[in-house]
């Protein structure tokens, strides 16, 4: 069984595969950006006709939204890649993903801005400003988070005990199983969203959920279940109080991110920032306890 898992793991989550995937995603992102711009040009020149409900074909700036969608998919792959290697970096990738989602939303909203003296009285412009402030704060919080990860004793070299070795093997098996789930979910979500956004002639298109809610809402639900499973298995090799609290807190942080997909406006931003602040605070306290125990 270990050989089978190792074979699949090396086929999907090895360093070599990661580097190839990065190159492929970059080319796909560039191609999708060009195709999106081409579609916008054809629509504006009346060569093709689409439903009036589609907002992603009205402004060239909105074309930036498409390549960012593929970059986000690669970030999810990196999340699976780091799952067996480091719990802290795995959580950090979740924070990167939600930050990129906010940036992508900013690019999308840029095409709908109403520049006027009454900026703060226009709801969409006010939310756009809140997103700008949120991304600066999130970027700074992620910097602090990775700085804390670097200083964390847990992330430094440890003696490889049989219990730790088995736990790492379990994480590799889980990450490997998540790859096909991620692929199926991403293909289905992107295909459904693409059809409904660009080619659906039904009025139902006005009620279609944002792609964030279609893919990431479901995917983060799966991550929560995985995090709980890993927390339970982590007791087999460590029952230190600060590690248990840290890992439990990371699950709460993931749940807050998941909840953000079911909200909109300021509440969405508050949940996202709170999730990252909570994770950073827990890691900081965890490191302080580690120093005391030295």
CB 102 within 8 A of CB 130: no
For residue 95 the two structure tokens come to 């924070």
CB 138 within 8 A of CB 160: no
Highest mean pLDDT among 9-13, 161-165, 276-280: 276-280
Say if residue 219's pLDDT is above 70: yes
Residues 6+ apart with CB under 8 A from 140: none
28-42, 75-89, 122-136, 188-202: segment of lowest average pLDDT: 188-202
38-52, 120-134, 221-235: segment of lowest average pLDDT: 38-52
For residue 85 the two structure tokens come to 């290697």
Per-residue pLDDT, averaged over 44-63, amounts to 67
What is the maximum alpha-carbon separation in the chain?
Answer: 70
Q: DSSP secondary-structure letter at 213?
A: I
Per-residue pLDDT, averaged over 26-39, amounts to 90
Q: Give the per-residue pLDDT at 12.
A: 87
State how far the Cα of 223 lies from the Cα of 244, in Å rounded to an integer. Answer: 18
Task: Return the exposure string of 168-182: e unless at least 16 CB atoms fall within 10 Å of the residue's CB, then b.
Answer: ebbbbbbbbebbeeb
Q: Give the per-residue pLDDT at 135.
A: 95
**Helix crossing, 65-82 with 87-110: angle to 10°?**
170
Q: How many CB atoms lie within 10 A of CB 143?
A: 11
State how far the Cα of 1 lies from the Cα of 293, in Å rounded to an integer. Answer: 38
State how far the Cα of 59 lies from the Cα of 39, in Å rounded to an integer. Answer: 11
> Nearest 10 degrees: CA dihedral of 6, 190, 46, 55?
-130
Per-residue pLDDT, averaged over 26-33, amounts to 91
3-state secondary structure of 238: coil
Residues 6+ apart with CB under 8 A from 27: none
CB 13 within 8 A of CB 176: yes
Q: How many CB atoms lie within 10 A of CB 157?
A: 6
Say if residue 53's pLDDT is above 50: no
Q: Give the per-residue pLDDT at 207.
A: 41
Quick one: which of 87, 210, 227, 226 has its CA closest to 158? 87
Q: Is 165 exposed, middle or buried (0-12, 13-18, 19+ CB in 10 A)?
A: exposed
Position with higher pLDDT, 164 vs 230: 230
CB 113 within 8 A of CB 124: yes
Matching residue, tokens 């709801």: 123
Query: 186 to each of 189, 227, 253, how far by Cα in Å?
Result: 5, 20, 23
Q: DSSP secondary-structure letter at 208?
A: P
Read off the pTM: 0.82
Q: How many CB atoms lie within 10 A of CB 133?
A: 11
How does pLDDT run across 59-80, given as a tens digit for each residue? 777 778 788 878 888 888 999 9
Q: How many CB atoms lie within 10 A of CB 49?
A: 9
What pLDDT band is residue 1 in, cutting at 50, 70 and 90? low
Q: Give the per-residue pLDDT at 201.
A: 47
């Amino acid at each position: 069984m270990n050989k089978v898992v190792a074979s699949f793991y090396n086929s999907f989550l090895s360093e070599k595969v990661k580097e190839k995937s990065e190159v492929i995603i970059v080319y796909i992102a560039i191609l999708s950006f060009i195709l999106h711009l081409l579609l916008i040009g054809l629509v504006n020149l009346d060569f093709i006709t689409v439903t009036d409900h589609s907002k992603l074909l009205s402004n060239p700036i909105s074309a930036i939204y498409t390549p960012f969608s593929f970059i986000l998919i690669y970030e999810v792959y990196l999340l699976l890649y780091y799952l067996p290697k480091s719990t802290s970096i795995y959580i950090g990738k979740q924070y990167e993903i939600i930050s990129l989602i906010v940036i992508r939303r900013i690019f999308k909203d840029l095409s709908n801005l109403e520049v006027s003296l009454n900026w703060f009285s226009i709801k969409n412009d006010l939310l756009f400003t809140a997103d700008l402030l949120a991304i600066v704060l999130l970027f700074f919080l992620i910097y602090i988070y990775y700085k804390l990860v670097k200083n964390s004793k847990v992330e430094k070299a440890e003696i490889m005990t049989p219990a730790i070795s088995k736990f790492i093997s379990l994480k590799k098996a889980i990450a490997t199983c998540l790859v096909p789930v991620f692929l199926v979910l991403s293909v289905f979500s992107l295909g459904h969203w693409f059809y409904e956004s660009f080619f659906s002639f039904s009025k139902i298109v006005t009620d279609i959920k944002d792609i964030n809610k279609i893919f990431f809402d479901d995917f983060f639900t799966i991550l929560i279940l995985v995090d709980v499973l890993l927390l339970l298995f982590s007791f087999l090799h460590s029952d230190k109080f600060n590690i248990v609290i840290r890992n439990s807190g990371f699950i709460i942080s993931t749940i807050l991110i998941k909840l953000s997909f079911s909200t909109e406006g300021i509440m969405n931003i508050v949940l996202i920032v709170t999730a990252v602040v909570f994770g950073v605070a827990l890691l900081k306290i965890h490191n302080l306890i580690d120093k005391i125990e030295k």
